[in-house]
Amino acid sequence: MKIVERADLNVELWNKLVHDSSDSTIFSLSFYLDAVAENWCVLVDETYSKGIALPYTIRLNVKTLYTPIYLMYVEWLGEDLPSDLIGLLQKFFTVGDICIKHKLSDPNRNECVRQELVESKYNEQAKRALKRFEKSGLLLVKGALENDILTIIESELPAKIASLDKQAILTLNKLVPVIAQNEMLSSYAILENNHVVGGILSMQFKNRIIYLKGAFTESAKKTGGMFKCISTLIEEESTSQNIIDFGGSRVENVRKFNMNFGSVDRVYYNYTWNNAPFHFKVLKRLKNALK
């Protein structure tokens, strides 16, 4: 196994590995990592038959393995997942704060949850919201309004979600067009008097449909616009083959919203280590304290 930087990567072989690996996700595709990661490389064997994508930053000459925004986790591709993967990664990265799909043997492992639809089963809150929408006179439109939805996201979410800063919005505006170019993007928008007042963006790779981002004006939210978008996504895309993946959030209200449709928790894992020089550790603690 060796580290191959993005500039030296055989993109065709890497993407073939992603496509050929069972249960792999869009997060490992080269175009996706190009859009969201500050830097990235791969740990891969000579024949590109197994490996893992590794996004990283460089601060004060220290390489830190990290999880970029809009990337839920990285995943081992191919067979023979190394039992000592974290120890192996520590040889290449001084600092790590990375989400990985797999449960590995490591004391600094924390559980994260995402929600996945197993069986469509709406609770009473969802049913009431959908009835409100039907009485609202608003219109749902599928596709072709991604830019309008991005505008709503930029205007509505940064004040509510601290992680959605200016850089995060720029990244999303870079990411969405390339997902669309690769024919993996779906969108559902809510219109009021021919103006977009909200919508959601999702992406599909293989049989997994992953919720990316959505936002609504307060009035569209109160009339059940988001419930309508999600329920339409479920009605059109949820099959015995397709998996609806709502993604993860550390905000409990988001998790509760996802549960309205019959989703269940799925676990993935966060791994951390810090073998950096003392001055870097001090600056990192200071930065975290300021946050």
Contacts of 178 (CB under 8 A, 6+ apart): 31, 32, 34, 35
DSSP 107: T
- pLDDT below 50 — which residues of the chain? none
CATH code of the domain containing 13: 3.40.630
Residue 279 corresponds to which tokens in the numbers above? 């001055």
> Do 139 and 43 fall within a single domain?
no
Q: In the prediction, which pLDDT does 219 show?
A: 93
Burial classification of residue 93, based on how many CB atoms lie within 10 Å of its CB (0-12 exposed, 13-18 middle, 19 or more buried):
buried
> Do 250 and 274 fall within a single domain?
no
Contacts of 150 (CB under 8 A, 6+ apart): 172, 173, 176, 201
Helix (H) or strand (E) holding 267: strand 263-274
In contact, 116 and 238? CB cutoff 8 Å: no
Number of domains in the chain: 2
In contact, 74 and 37? CB cutoff 8 Å: no
Q: In the prediction, which pLDDT does 119 show?
A: 84
User: Could you tell me how many residues make up the chain?
Assistant: 291
CATH code of the domain containing 247: 3.40.630.30
Q: In the prediction, which pLDDT does 282 show?
A: 59
> Do 97 and 168 fall within a single domain?
no
> Do 106 and 206 fall within a single domain?
no
Q: How many helices (H) and strands (E) does the chain have?
A: 10, 12
> Do 43 and 148 fall within a single domain?
no
User: What residue numbers bound the domain in which 49 lies?
Assistant: 2-113+268-290
> Do 131 and 254 fall within a single domain?
yes
Burial classification of residue 285, based on how many CB atoms lie within 10 Å of its CB (0-12 exposed, 13-18 middle, 19 or more buried):
exposed
> Do 69 and 100 fall within a single domain?
yes
> Do 140 and 33 fall within a single domain?
no
Beta-bridge mates of residue 114: 248, 266
> Do 207 and 284 fall within a single domain?
no
Residue 262 corresponds to which tokens in the numbers above? 């019959």
> Do 250 and 143 fall within a single domain?
yes
Q: In the prediction, which pLDDT does 173 show?
A: 96
Q: In the prediction, which pLDDT does 140 show?
A: 95
> Do 97 and 169 fall within a single domain?
no
> Do 90 and 143 fall within a single domain?
no
Beta-bridge mates of residue 268: 112
Q: Quick one: which of 142, 147, 146 has its CA closest to 236?
A: 142
Q: Indicate the pairing of strand 62-66 with strand 195-205.
A: unpaired
| Inter-CA distances, 216 with 102, 106, 250, Å | 34, 40, 20
Q: In the prediction, which pLDDT does 60 show?
A: 82
Q: In the prediction, which pLDDT does 280 show?
A: 59
The single-letter code of the amino acid at 62 is: V
Q: Quick one: which of 56, 76, 51, 53 has its CA closest to 66?
A: 56
